[in-house]
Amino acid sequence: MTLVEIREIGVDLLPKYSSIPAYFKVESQLRIELVDGGFGGFRFVEERVEPYMKWDVQSDDDRPETWPERFGSDKMGVFMAFRGSEPVGGATVLIDYPAGIVTHFEREGTAVLWDIRTHPDERRRGIGTKLFGFATNWARGRGCHSMKIETQNVNVPACRFYVKNGCVLGAVNRYGYTRVPEVAHESMLQWYLEL
Q: CATH number of the domain that 49 lies in? A: 3.40.630.30
Q: Other CB atoms closer than 10 Å to residue 25's CB: what's the count?
A: 10
Mean pLDDT of 27-42: 95
Sign of the Cα pseudo-torsion (98, 70, 100, 137, in order): negative
pLDDT for position 141:
96
Residue 148's domain spans which residues? 4-194
Residue 23 has pLDDT above 60, yes or no: yes
**DSSP structure string for 10-68:** -GGGHHHHHTS--EEEEEEEEEEEESGGGTT-EEEEEEEEEEEEEES--SGGGSGGGHH
Residue 101 has pLDDT above 60, yes or no: no
Q: How many domains does the chain have?
A: 1
